[in-house]
Structure formats: structure tokens, C-alpha cells
Amino acid sequence: MDTSIAKNVSVNRGVFTTTLGAVVATLGSAVGLGNIWKFPYVTGENGGAAFLIVYVACTLLVGLPVMIAEITMGRKARANAVTTMERVTENRKQPWWLIGALGATAAFVIMAFYSEVAGWVYAYVFKAFGGEVLSTNPEVTGKIFGDLVSDPVQSLLWQWIVLILMSVIIVLGVTKGIERATKFMIPSLFVMVLIVAARSLTLDGGATAQGLSFLFKPDFSKITAEAVLVAMGLAFFKLSVGMGCMITYGSYWQSDQNIPVKTTLIMFSDLIVSLLAGLAIFPAVYAFGFEPSAGPSLLFITIPAVFASMPMGQLFMVLFFILTAFAANGAMLSLIEVPVAFLSERFNLTRLKATLLTTGLLALTGSTAALSSSTLANFKPFGKTMFDLFDYLSSNIMLPVGGLFIAIFVGWVWGRKNLEAELSNQGALQNKGLVSAFYFVLRFITPVLVVVILLSGLGVF
């Protein structure tokens, strides 16, 4: 019964046609620019180790519970985010489907800047081929990055290349290939980041010590209410939760998958990739005199210096950016899928039309992010460029709000019976104690934490 529904849904949406690959695809949604680009830059901006501890705590107490909640509902309802919320709501008068609609909006906001960063990654594959970028001089690597982002034509072009490629993949339905690529890509990316971290950690003893203490020796005086909000936002962003992505991907999970165990494994793998990225970047920051708080440019100006100081560095740098591009693509496909599935199913559009509409709108909104360091550099609503605004708004407001309602819905409305049945695979798994603990966290800890962190981080109290 379950499988036949799953098949229908898959055929309609043309997404992952094998349920086997669904867990891998979920990992592919989680691992992305969040690990390689965002984790190092926000950790650098917020003072390092203390921020890392808050981030890990938020991952365990907020991100993971919401991820389990989303996947559970998606697998139960076997549908896109909006339809899932309708199917699991017994009282049809309650508008829980709005969670799905908010999620589709969040996907737009995230893609607006994510597609630009992915564009930089694509551009760096070619820059690595060219070779000039392989320098240990912060001024040189900084200038090369600055030249890229301050050129409106290049910025727009790379973003459009990304969006066109994503549309082609979605319309052609080559997700099977992506599934296979992800299986190969994530372990390769892992090994690659490990190699870069090993090189960075052996650059120079003093810098290694500084980098390690930056990442692992907490100084809690650096933690402000806003830093806590950013850490929680990162936890949501990293696990792709709070916006229906995991509901959608959960709908492809097989009925006999152990959800608590698999999601925890995904969470750990994702965390390890991020930590390795941190170990690749921070020792190099100190070895060559970069700024840990450089912001969104951190990856692009620091990592070339590590490659410049290793044998076959140019080849490794090409491979590194190709693998990062693959990781970004896996995450973007899951992002675009949320509005595309919604538009095509709700308004009866063909997938081609839904995709063109989505990416067309994305090219428009995204271009304001792409031009944030050039034409629109002085356009700063709320004191932030459009790029920073999209980045901030999505992780620190939209995902937490979405996650809050998901936790409240599953903890207080959907209820224990449904949850227990689904998480134990209708009684096949002996995990009552685990489910009770999870239920408690989801009801009492997650929502309270989200509300308190959100309101204090925004300065409400």
C-alpha cells in the first residue's frame, strides 16, 4: 500500500524514483555550501568555539527533533509539504498547510543568495584551472574574489548558469543520476576536506595551535543573544529543516527505515564535514594572516592559500571546487523542489512550466543578491545588502518560525499515538523509550528554545 502511493507520488513529481536512494538524497540535501562556506564564515564572525558549542546544542535540541518530525510526517503522508500538512491535519479548519506555503517562500529566499554562492564556486573551478588564484597572499586572493563579486556581469552570469543547469536537471528528470552522483560525491568530498584539513593543520605549528584554540577553546564572553540566534539559524539551515524540504524528502523514505537512527547518522555526518571544513580554514587563517571574521568571502579568499602550499595544489583545488559544486547542486535541487512540487500539484502546471516559473522568479529576486557587491552595493534595506538580508532572513527568521510550528504541530496536535506508530515502524522497532524522550524534547524543549532564542536574538527582550 505504502509503496504504491510512494510510486504514484514519485511518478507525478518525477523526483527520486527509488526509495532506496532517498536517505542518500536527504544527506545530499543537508551537506552543501552550509558546511563548506557558511559554517566557517559564521563561526569566524561569531568568535569560534563558544559559538560552535551553542550550534551543536541547537542541532541536538532543535534541528534534529524538527528533522525527525518532518521526515516522519512526510513518510506518513507521502506527499509534498503543503499536501502533507493537509493530510496529517484531522481538523480541516486549522490552517497548518501554511507551514508548507511558508516553506516554499523560504526556499525562494534561500535560493536567491545560495545560487549566487554556488555561482562563485563554479567560477572558482575555472579560476583554479587558470592558476593565478593559487596564492598565499591575502591581498592577491582577496582581490581576485573582490574582482569577481564586484563585476555585475560576471555575478549575474554565474548565477544564471547555475539556475539554468538546475532547471535542465529538474526538467529532464535526471535525478537518478544525481542520486548516484551523491552516493559517490559525499564520500569524495569528505576525503577531500580531510586532505585539505590535514594540510592546513601542518602549515605551521603556531598557526595550528591558534586555529585549534579558536575552534575548540570557548570564550563565552563572545556570545551575544544575536550570536545564539545565528547559531540556531545555522542548525536549521544545515539540516535543511523548518521549510518542508525534509517533509518532501521524507515522503520517499521506505517504510522500514529506522527514522531516529538514520536522521542521527545524517546529522553526525553533516557535522563532521563542517568541522573538517573549519579545520581546513582556521589554521590557514592564522598561518597567512587572514581575518577569521571576513564574512561570506572567507572560504574563497582563504582556501586558495592552502592549495598554494601543497603538492599538486592546482589539481586538488579544481577537484575541491568541483566536489563543492556537486554538494551545492544536491542542496539546490531539494530547495527548488519545494516550490516546484507545490506549484505543479496545486495549480496543475506541468513540471516544465512550474520549473520555468520558479527559476524565472529566482533569476529576478536572486539578481538583487548577485548585484549586492556591485550595482546595488549601496542599496541596504534594514542596514543590510540584499545578499545579507536574504541570508539573515531565511536562516534566522523564516526557518526558526517554520520549525517552531512544525514542532508545535507534531508535539501538540498530531500527538503521541501517530508519532509512536510511525517512529516504531508500526511496532516493528522496540524504541519506546527513545520515542518518549524525543516526544518530550519536541513538546517542551524545542518550542521554548526557539521562541526564547528568536525573541532575544531579535532584541524583543
- Over the range 144-162, which residues count as b (16 or more CB within 10 Å of their CB) and which as e? bbeebbeebebbbebbbeb
Residue pair 64/260 in contact by the 8 Å Cβ criterion = no
Q: Per CB under 6 A, does 29 bind ligand PHE?
A: yes
Q: Which stretch binds ligand PHE (CB under 6 A): 46-54, 176-184, 215-223, 239-247?
A: 239-247
Neighbours of 347 (CB within 10 A): 10
Q: Per CB under 6 A, does 32 bind ligand PHE?
A: yes
Dihedral sign, CA of 276, 277, 283, 288? positive
Q: Per CB under 6 A, does 88 bind ligand PHE?
A: no
Q: Per CB under 6 A, does 335 bind ligand PHE?
A: yes
Number of H helices, E strands in the chain: 23, 0
Dihedral sign, CA of 378, 384, 388, 394? negative
Using DSSP, state whether 96 is helix, strand or coil: coil
As a whole number of angstroms, the distance between CA 34 and CA 235 comes to 10
Q: Per CB under 6 A, does 237 bind ligand PHE?
A: yes
Binding ligand PHE (rule: CB under 6 A), the pick from 248, 302, 334, 373 is: 334
Q: Per CB under 6 A, does 71 bind ligand PHE?
A: no
Question: Smallest gap, in angstroms, from Cβ of residue 36 to ligand PHE?
Answer: 8
Beta carbon nearer to ligand PHE, 274 or 309: 274
Q: Per CB under 6 A, does 109 bind ligand PHE?
A: no
Question: Smallest gap, in angstroms, from Cβ of residue 38 to ligand PHE?
Answer: 7
Question: Smallest gap, in angstroms, from Cβ of residue 75 to ligand PHE?
Answer: 18
Residue pair 410/96 in contact by the 8 Å Cβ criterion = no
Binding ligand PHE (rule: CB under 6 A), the pick from 110, 259, 323, 354 is: 110
- Residue in 16, 331, 326 with CA at minimum distance from that of residue 179: 16
Neighbours of 12 (CB within 10 A): 14
Binding ligand PHE (rule: CB under 6 A), the pick from 66, 284, 301, 331 is: 331
Binding ligand PHE (rule: CB under 6 A), the pick from 30, 52, 148, 450 is: 30
Binding ligand PHE (rule: CB under 6 A), the pick from 15, 112, 245, 393 is: 245
Binding site for ligand PHE (CB under 6 A): 29-30, 32-35, 110, 237-238, 240, 243, 245, 331, 334-335
